[in-house]
Structure 1
Amino acid sequence: MRHPVDVHVGKRVRHRRWMVGMTQQQLGDIVGIKFQQIQKYETGMNRISASRLWDISQALDVPVSFFFEGFDGENSVPDAAPSVADTRGDLLADKEALELVRSYYAIPEAQRRRLFELARVLSDVA
């Protein structure tokens, strides 16, 4: 059975890897392991050791603490109802949503602010 912390950390690895536009193969090559092991880490099937988590954090340019953000232990029971944070996390696990976020941050800042204000206005109207 997968441990909830391993699942959460794995989701955070996948999320960050997607955010920087890196494949499992690329991350595996940087860290010195096969992409299949990255797959197992990301699903929480295999636990990531402290030294490997350190290597992954260096490859993805985030502190180790990044992988634990959002985990409060409240939903550590496998059958617990998902919280708002879990739902948001699932949204970020969606490739289309991540592509949208990547594209958004590729827009120059001044235009991005205008786009953000437009989205805010449109969401208030809906």
Structure 2
Amino acid sequence: MAPPKTAATGPDPIDIQVGMQIRARRRSMGSSQSALAEAIGVSFQQVQKYERGANRVSASMMSRIASHLGCRPADLMPTGDGGDAVPLDSAFLSQAGGPELAKAFMSLSPKLRRAIVDLARAMAAAEGS
């Protein structure tokens, strides 16, 4: 079991990953922090804290956020696949085509998403060799 969070250690890495997933999903939809905050009944500052991982997202709040973002709460959780995943964050979404790619990807079935990921990994490996 992981040690409890202390002021010296900062936010739990899982809380940070959840926040990054919320931010990425919100941005891919073209929604603002204020719009999300209004939809879930909190201040935009609270949404900022959720997205940074500074505040943990409760199960009920996760459900409200997921509902507003058009996904399941599980879609906002880290995959735990142990892979070398790169977080989807503002760096990706600020790239040309990033938001459009993220939006299109989220509309695909899980099977097609997996195929796209496999293709992208193969392309990256081929480019690196």
How far has the Cα of 1:84 moved from its partner?
2.8
- Cα distance between partner residues in 2 of 1:50 and 1:59: 14
- Cα distance between partner residues in 2 of 1:38 and 1:56: 10
How far has the Cα of 1:68 moved from its partner?
1.3
Question: What is the RMSD computed on CA atoms of the aligned residues?
Answer: 2.6
SS in structure 2 opposite 1:29? Answer: helix
Q: Which residues of structure 1 form unaligned runs of 5+?
A: 75-82, 106-119
SS in structure 2 opposite 1:71? Answer: coil
SS in structure 2 opposite 1:84? Answer: coil
Show the 5 A alignment for 1:96-111.
96-97=94-95, 100-103=97-100, 105=104
When the two structures are superposed, what TM-score results if normalisation uses the length of structure 2? Answer: 0.64
SS in structure 1 opposite 2:94? Answer: helix
Q: 1:4 aligns with which of 13, 27, 40?
A: 13
SS in structure 2 opposite 1:14? Answer: helix
- Cα distance between partner residues in 2 of 1:54 and 1:38: 14
Do 1:6 and 1:47's aligned partners in 2 also have CA atoms closer than 8 Å? yes
How far has the Cα of 1:69 moved from its partner?
3.9
- The amino acid of 1:96's aligned partner reads S
Larger Rg over CA atoms: 1
- The amino acid of 1:39's aligned partner reads Q
How far has the Cα of 1:17 moved from its partner?
0.2
- Cα distance between partner residues in 1 of 2:55 and 2:38: 18
With over 3 angstroms needed to count, the CA separation of the structure-2 counterparts of 1:4 and 1:22, relative to structure 1, is same
More helix by share: 1
Find the counterpart in structure 2 of residue 112 from structure 1. none
Show the 5 A alignment for 1:1-126.
1-72=10-81, 84-85=84-85, 87=86, 89-90=87-88, 92-94=89-91, 95-97=93-95, 100-103=97-100, 105=104
State, as a whole percentage, how many aligned pairs show the same letter. Answer: 29
With over 3 angstroms needed to count, the CA separation of the structure-2 counterparts of 1:29 and 1:100, relative to structure 1, is same
Do 2:34 and 2:43's aligned partners in 1 also have CA atoms closer than 8 Å? yes
Do 1:7 and 1:44's aligned partners in 2 also have CA atoms closer than 8 Å? yes
For these two proteins, the number of residue pairs brought into alignment is 98
